[in-house]
A = this chain, B = another copy of it.
């Protein structure tokens, strides 16, 4: 019915509905086609962005071939390899390899050589996040950070913590973690911001974030009770 009515107002709109999604969105280069790169590549395929895959492990290339995926051989940190892979026209260059040695000195020349491309990268830990700071990349994710939050959330579910509270804990943790990272980067010291963690008994800063969340939940509970009392009156 929605469809029929729509035709009255904008005839012919159906034919071009698919356009923005089907149009080539430029191309991307994914370096490292293991567990990490495979998922990133799938997401790019899903929006019809063309993907060139590079890996320096022959075994990975061979395995991928058996799954009908063409992966090119090469070291994706080399400018000449990237150029041959089409980096000058690429919109994205994404480092997905398991390589904790990649730092700002390795990435900066790539960012500079291919100004049309945005560079994103997987990192090992917060130490590597500090090490790539200043390279000009537009995004980075610590490789086990998100999965550790997911397993933590599963654990809280098992303790029958309410979904809403789990969300709050996750949000608070992300906020504290981001602030801690900011301090670690600006001070160049991994020891900075150690209060910005949830510890047994509550870190000083963490405790106040959690307290704010508790107050928010308490206020929501009071509002619910009030609404129920109003209905009962």
Contact = CB atoms under 8 A, between A and B. Distances in A.
Contact of A46 (B9, B144, B206): B206
A135 interface: no
Given A26-B159, A36-B147, A94-B155, A172 B47 contact: no
Nearest to A50: B200
Contacts of A2: 219, 222-223, 226
A142 B226 contact: no
A158 B194 contact: no
B139 A151 contact: yes
A151 B138 contact: no
A108 to B, nearest CB: 18
B147 A10 contact: no
A106 interface: no
18 contacts: A17-B218, A17-B222, A18-B218, A21-B165, A39-B145, A39-B152, A40-B151, A45-B198, A46-B172, A47-B161, A47-B169, A96-B151, A141-B151, A143-B144, A143-B147, A144-B144, A144-B147, A145-B147
A197 B42 contact: yes
A118 B157 CA distance: 11
Contact of A149 (B10, B39, B69): B39
A147 B5 CA distance: 42
Tallying the copies of this chain within the complex gives 2
Interface in A1-39: 2-3, 5-6, 9-10, 13-14, 17-18, 21, 25-26, 28, 35-39
Given A219-B3, A225-B9, A226-B5, A159 B39 contact: no
A155 B152 CA distance: 26
The 3 nearest A-B residue pairs measured at CB: A146-B146, A43-B152, A39-B148
Contacts of A28: 155
A197 B225 CA distance: 47
Given A26-B159, A139-B158, A200-B51, A149 B6 contact: no
A26 to B, nearest CB: 7
Contacts of A25: 159, 161
